[in-house]
Amino acid sequence: MAYDVIVLGSGPGGYPAAIRASQLGLKVAIIEKESLGGICLNWGCIPTKALLKSAQVYESMKHSKDYGLEASDVKHNFDAVIKRSRGVADKMSKGVQFLMKKNKIDVVMGYGKLKAKGQVEVTGADGKTQAVEGKYIIVATGARSRQLPSLPIDGKKVIGYREAMVLPQQPKSMIVVGSGAIGVEFAYFYNSMGTKVTIVEFLPKVVPVEDDDVSKELEKQYKKQGIEIYTSSEVTSVDTSGTGVKAKVKTQNGEITLEADIVLSAAGIVANIENIGLEQLGIKTEKGKITVDKYQQTNVAGFYAIGDCTPGQALAHVASKEGIIAAEHIGYNEKKYGHLPDTIDYNNIPGCTYCTPEISSIGYTEKAAKEAGYELKIGKFPFIASGKASAAGATEGFIKVIYDAKYGEFLGAHMIGYNVTELIAEVSVARKLETTYHEILNASHPHPTMSEGVKEATAAAYGEAIDI
């Protein structure tokens, strides 16, 4: 059967692309080599949040006295925590299966390779191949853990995020290499479960993409939690010959040796663009990513690419939007969609990290805004001044907002604290609507909430703060 659209990969970019194309009246097939929902749903975003929730509940139980409650002999069952996480992932994967049936999308299981214009060769688990034909092809092959030359992953003593989610037993000690979202989330989880955790970060600060104030706050909170941190440091070699791992680490103060049961390599990701037929078809790549235009088109007509295998931020919500843009552009070409789709402003993408305290951010950091030549109005609202945060027993962190002093443009927001991943959407919508400080100040924010901190930080930026 010939399809209108073939989607290669069913992650958070692929399956929304397939659904949107189907909604527009196009006949769609999706090709998946492992599990519907891809890494995000099965081994990334979703099951990690389940692990982190278990860790947070355990932490709350240990501190029950702070809330006037008594809970004695509080323990955790590591196997049961892992099992719950896998159950959440399985349930969500079944949800994607349902969505495929609901939207009449054919699912072809196997490894897909671009063979020719309008054709994908799929190799099944049994080694048999079949050709799937379609007018348009959307490549959504995602990414995998980056392997550092000094840190080869063996899946046992040196592991990636995938193994970290299903360890057969809890390690007593762990070295986490890299302090991006994956690194700090796992560091929090294992530390709260009682594992001794050390973070090694190559760059001068943890969570390097975040605003400097946020990085400093997270480092302070992690050290308070008992996590050891080495910044401007690099693992130069690992010795796995003994019972655990010995890692040689080059620090600012000379070389040290760290010992642990296990090393988690969380040093970023690499796009899955090898062996999928790009070269044979002349599809351009640059710096290990597929080159695309604002509608996600490659340089070869009929081929689109979305998500982590393309240059935009490697985030699930970015992949989803790119997938929808690609589907709508195809719909427009086929006269099934009335206008060209809205494209993405990559400077207005919220980023969230689900450690404790949570981190969320959008737009310019203070440093980037200054480098861009803006004169700034900056306001901070510390959660210690928040009634809701005090009631929740979560007063760590703050909301920081950045405005252009000349026109009042909302340039960016950076948050660290309890539940801040739920607060950042306000800023995303506000910036999309080209809102200034004036609208934020004069929009009613409910009290007591954490979200009113956005208004309070804005008031602080303009010398009008009431509660601080």
Q: Is residue 166 in a domain?
A: yes
| Residue 1 pLDDT | 62
Which of 200, 342, 192 shows the shortest CA–CA distance to 263? 200
| Residue 159 pLDDT | 95
How far is residue 175's CA from residue 158's CA, in Å, rounded to a whole number?
Answer: 9
Same domain, yes or no, for 125 and 58? yes
Same domain, yes or no, for 10 and 140? yes
CA angle, residues 410, 411, 415, in degrees to nearest 5:
95
Q: Is residue 16 in a domain?
A: yes
Q: Using CA atoms in the order 343, 348, 350, 351, what is the torsion angle rounded to 10 degrees?
A: 100
Q: Is residue 222 in a domain?
A: yes
Same domain, yes or no, for 232 and 287? no
Same domain, yes or no, for 247 and 275? no
Same domain, yes or no, for 95 and 181? no
Q: Is residue 284 in a domain?
A: yes
Same domain, yes or no, for 95 and 201? no
Q: What share of the chain is helix, strand, coil (3-state, %, to 5)?
A: 35, 25, 40
Domain end (from 267, 294, 321): 267
Strands 196-200 and 228-230: parallel
Phi then psi for residue 432, to 5 deg, are: -60, -35
With a cut of 50, which residues of the chain have pLDDT below it?
A: none
> What tokens were used for 432?
């999309």
> Counting every residue, how long is the chain?
468
Which H/E stretch holds residue 89? helix 78-102
Q: Which residues pair with 297 in a beta bridge?
A: 304
> What tokens were used for 38?
């891809």
Strands 254-260 and 143-145: unpaired
Phi then psi for residue 312, to 5 deg, are: -60, 175
Q: Is residue 172 in a domain?
A: yes
Q: Which residue has the tokens 């709350």?
A: 60
Same domain, yes or no, for 28 and 127? yes
Same domain, yes or no, for 29 and 166? no
Q: Is residue 341 in a domain?
A: no
| Residue 308 pLDDT | 97
DSSP string of 280-336, one letter each residue? HHT--EETTEE---TT-B-SSTTEEE-GGGSSS---HHHHHHHHHHHHHHHHHHTTS
Which of 170, 180, 186, 172 shows the shortest CA–CA distance to 43? 186
Same domain, yes or no, for 228 and 256? yes
How far is residue 356's CA from residue 418's CA, in Å, rounded to a whole number?
Answer: 7
Domain end (from 333, 349, 376): 333
3-state secondary structure of 164: helix
How far is residue 321's CA from residue 312's CA, in Å, rounded to a whole number?
Answer: 11
Which of 453, 373, 358 shows the shortest CA–CA distance to 411? 373
Domain harbouring 397, CATH code? 3.30.390.30
> What sign does the CA torsion over 65, 71, 77, 82 have?
negative
Domain end (from 235, 267, 299): 267
Same domain, yes or no, for 383 and 236? no
Q: Is residue 120 in a domain?
A: yes
Same domain, yes or no, for 263 and 296? no
Side chain identity, residue 175: I
Q: Using CA atoms in the order 424, 425, 431, 433, what is the torsion angle rounded to 10 degrees?
A: -160
| Residue 467 pLDDT | 85
Residues labelled as active-site residues: 447
| Residue 56 pLDDT | 95
* Domain limits for position 112: 2-145+270-333
How many domains does the chain contain in total? 3
Q: Is residue 323 in a domain?
A: yes
Same domain, yes or no, for 115 and 238? no
Q: Evaluate the omega torsion of the peptide bond into residue 382 and state whether it is cis, within 30 degrees of 0.
A: no
Strands 196-200 and 173-177: parallel
How far is residue 465's CA from residue 408's CA, in Å, rounded to a whole number?
Answer: 17
For the whole model, what pTM was predicted? 0.95
Contact between 378 and 414 (Cβ < 8 Å):
no
DSSP 370: H
Domain harbouring 251, CATH code? 3.50.50.60
Contact between 410 and 427 (Cβ < 8 Å):
yes
Half-sphere exposure (Cβ direction) of 11: Cα atoms closer than 13 Å: 32
DSSP string of 106-152, one letter each residue? EEEESEEEEEETTEEEEE-TTS-EEEEEEEEEEE---EEEPPBTTB-
